[in-house]
């Protein structure tokens, strides 16, 4: 939501009046809120060169503030072992652990262990998310 859209609502004689705050006032209130609530970890000192995009810049009470937009770091390619890749391919076909264990001639518990390790490597928590991520990274071909 752009800063200009944020508004303060006040009630006066049964009708609502919306007062748009200037960006400097919004930033000042944000800084006050963060410092009084002990959430200062979300404020980081950065220079404009370190930011992906400076959205707003202001000097308030002798302190220079930046509102920046950071983009998430690119995800690194994931490396799966040959066994993990085989299990991922079978899961992408919709097979349950028991069937995968019969095909690969390993224990269902071993399949589950490999699956947990794949989830950790990919940072996912479900089979569908795992398959989507592997397709996105072109690790699986369907």
**pTM for this prediction:** 0.49
- Is 13 exposed, middle or buried (CB count within 10 Å of its CB: 0-12, 13-18, 19+)? exposed
Do residues 26 and 60 both lie within one domain? yes
CATH number at residue 87: 1.10.10.10
- Digit-coded pLDDT (tens) for 57-84: 767 667 766 666 666 666 667 789 999 9
Do 61 and 9 share a domain, yes or no?
yes
| Co-location of 130 and 105 in the same domain | yes
Q: Which of 69, 98, 127 lies at the terminal end of a domain, its last residue? A: 69
Residue 13 has pLDDT above 60, yes or no: no
Is residue 90 domain-shared with residue 113, that is, in the same domain? yes
Encoded tokens for 48:
């404009």
The residues, ordered by sequence, that sit 6+ positions from 101 with a Cβ below 8 Å of its Cβ are 107, 108, 110, 111
Residue 141 domain flag: no
CB atoms under 10 Å from CB of 99, counted, come to 14
- The pLDDT tens digits of the residues spanning 106-134 come to 999 999 999 999 999 998 999 999 999 99
> Would residue 77 count as lying in a domain?
no
Range of the domain at 13: 3-69
């Amino acid at each position: 939501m752009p800063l200009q859209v944020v508004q303060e609502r006040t009630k006066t004689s049964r009708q609502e009046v919306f007062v748009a705050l200037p960006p400097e006032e919004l930033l000042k209130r944000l800084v006050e809120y963060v410092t009084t609530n002990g959430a200062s970890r979300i404020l980081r000192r950065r220079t404009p060169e370190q930011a992906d995009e400076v959205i707003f810049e202001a000097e308030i009470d002798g302190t220079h503030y930046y509102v920046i937009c950071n983009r998430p770091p690119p995800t690194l390619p994931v490396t799966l072992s040959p066994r993990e890749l085989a299990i991922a391919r079978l899961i992408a076909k919709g097979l349950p652990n028991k069937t995968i264990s019969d095909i690969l001639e390993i224990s269902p518990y071993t399949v589950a262990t490999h699956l947990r390790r794949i989830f950790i490597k990919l940072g996912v928590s479900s089979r569908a998310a795992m398959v989507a991520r592997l397709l996105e990274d072109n690790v699986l071909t369907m």
